[in-house]
Amino acid sequence: MNSLMLKKMKETIERLKVVKTEFISSYEEGYIGKKVYRITLADGSTRVCEQITKNKGNGDAVIILPITIDNDFVMILESRPNTYEEVVAEFPAGMVDEGEEPVEAAKRELLEETGYEAEDVYELESHYQDQGCSKAKIRIFVASGCKKVQEQRLEDTEKIDIFEMPYDDVLALIKEESESPVKICDSGTKLAFMTYTLKKKGIL
């Protein structure tokens, strides 16, 4: 990146920084909520923003990419009534509890949803879920050396089955080249798998 572009980017950042936030209202019913506030930027412009909240917080969450001691990937099939497919394949995931470290949330969610524990857990990458209307930070963790140590501990609303799949089967589900009756439609699962692949290849 050349120096002129860097200079222009820094100037843009300074101009678009938030210098004032005024709370307008909030609404919560069940799991999903909304905050409305007015912001003033350093350039003097103002606008009203809406922020989606989850479980009375930002909605920070973790996605876990579990790999067994045999190098298979632990996938779950879960009921997702809000999707067109209604049942989809994905990696285990869940919310970060208040005061909980993301890596501990990853270990907890992996154990609860699958009954697996890992020899090693490390962060692969992080991103915003939807930076246009949410502060939710999603962190992806790789859990290697996984083995089953207990039965699942699911919430009453969770319906999850577990499958161990080799790398090529997961890739086929993403490419929709498989005869499987389910797809991987979840953006977080796709991002986790593709980032893992690119890092393994030394591209990232």
Residue (of 102, 68, 91, 61) closest to 192 by Cα position: 91
Where do the domains of the chain lie? 3-54, 61-200
Q: Residue type at 67?
A: I
> 61-200 — its CATH code?
3.90.79.10
Q: Which ranges of 70-164 would DSSP assign to H, the alpha helix?
A: 102-114
Torsions phi, psi of 164, nearest 5? -100, 125
Determine whether 52 is exposed, middle or buried from the number of CB atoms within 10 Å of its CB (0-12, 13-18, 19+): middle
Residues 44-65 pLDDT 10s:
999 999 999 998 889 999 999 9
Helix 167-175 with 187-200: angle, nearest 10 deg: 130
DSSP annotation string for 139-197? EEEEEEEEEE-S-----TT--EEEEEE-HHHHHHHHHT-S--S-----HHHHHHHHHHH
Residue (of 191, 190, 195) closest to 88 by Cα position: 190
Question: How far apart, in whole angstroms, are the C-alpha atoms of residue 177 and residue 60?
Answer: 32
The confidence band for 39, taking pLDDT boundaries of 50, 70 and 90, is very high
pTM assigned to the model:
0.92
Residue reference for tokens 């963790």:
141
Checking if the pLDDT of 135 tops 90, the result is yes
Predicted local distance difference test score (pLDDT) of residue 87:
92
Predicted local distance difference test score (pLDDT) of residue 180:
82
The confidence band for 159, taking pLDDT boundaries of 50, 70 and 90, is confident
